[in-house]
Amino acid sequence: MSEHASDPAAISIQGLVKRYAGRKGGEGKLALEGVSFDVPQGQIFGLLGPNGAGKSTLINILAGLVRKTAGEVRIWGFAIDHDSRNAKRAIGIVPQEVVFDPFFSPAEVLELQAGYYGVPKAARRTMELLRAVHLADKADAYSRTLSGGMKRRLLIAKALVHAPPVLVLDEPTAGVDVELRRQLWELVRELNAEGMTVVLTTHYLEEAEQLCDRIAIINHGRLIANKPTRELVGMAREKIVVLTLDRDIVAEGRALPAHPDFVKCIATGERTLEITYDKDRTNAGQVLALIEGQGFAIVDVTTREADLEDVFVALTSAERQPA
């Protein structure tokens, strides 16, 4: 695959369409509608979207499990239509479900998977991969005895037996506890630091914001955003300032502060206000001045920047609005 190493995109998707067959020859569901984007080499790339948005269909097309209706998909420069063998060898897929024989040991699971890909015994990296995912001490244990987190890590090792340059993680931390999620984050970062391109789908927006260099958002089968993570977060126009005042607001029956630049103002306690404002129209200093100008003395101030969740909700909500 070295001849394609200079290709600027690890994955290139152009005009991808998938329409499932309908009943009795009728028109079926349109799962993907002309989706186009590139996954740059060497990045951690987030693929986000609500349930039913088309993410799983797209991943299954990459994995060769679903046939596209139209468009072009290239993995590491190889077209999935014309060079499917090399395209499949260039990618490793880690599914949401735990899929391996529970009565095989982790070492046996990796040896079998390597055999499926035709990796010669001399070139297999079973113990190296188990060490990489911190399972070397479990090499000969029954896989069914592994904890949930160990099984997730074994799935990652299984996806790497044929040394693909691209790894797709489909909801890798779904249903795991916070500590395990952090461990998997660290493993993803280690793989990426070694040069691997990682595509990550997740429902945890904090996860995408922490890990991903770039994020694409799909909704109703259409691409609605594709930007560097910082730029995407910067799209949020709203900011929140929380104020503690010197006396009770509710007890005095005073009206809450109001101004056209405030998106909303709510009392979160007897002496605390939470004001949401449009940072394109005003700033925190002006908000404080407006509050003091209405006769309130401020004891304490904290602010919260918008995050990826705010942007995600705004973008997907806009998609639901009628034209």
- Domains within the chain, CATH numbers bracketed: 1-90+164-180+191-235 (3.40.50.300), 103-161 (no CATH), 238-305 (3.30.70.1560)
Residue 323 in this model has a pLDDT that exceeds 50: no
Type and span of the H or E element at 112: helix 106-116
**pLDDT value of position 251:** 57
**pLDDT value of position 252:** 55
Q: Between these two residues, 323 and 116, which has the higher pLDDT value?
A: 116
**pLDDT value of position 168:** 97
Share of the chain above pLDDT 70, in %: 93
How far, in Å, CA of 192 to CA of 17, rounded?
A: 29
- Measured in whole angstroms, the distance separating CA 308 from the mean position of its chain's CA atoms is 11
This model's pTM is above 0.85: no
**pLDDT value of position 1:** 42
Interval 78-95: pLDDT, tens: 999 999 999 999 999 999
Strand locations in 63-177 (E): 70-75, 78-79, 91-94, 166-170
Residue 3 in this model has a pLDDT that exceeds 50: no
Whether 61 contacts 71, CB under 8 Å: no
Percent of the chain that is helix, strand, coil (3-state, to 5): 35, 30, 40
**What contacts 24+ positions apart, CB below 8 Å, involve 282-287?**
284/239, 284/241, 286/261, 287/241, 287/261, 287/262
Interval 154-212: pLDDT, tens: 999 999 999 999 999 998 887 777 888 888 899 999 999 999 999 999 888 888 999 99
Residue 129 in this model has a pLDDT that exceeds 90: yes
How far, in Å, CA of 198 to CA of 133, rounded?
A: 15
Residue 34 binned pLDDT confidence (cut-offs 50, 70, 90) = very high
Interval 191-201: pLDDT, tens: 999 999 999 99
Residue 135 in this model has a pLDDT that exceeds 60: yes
CA–CA distance from 41 to each of 171, 226, 287 (Å)? 21, 15, 43
Amino acid at 37: F
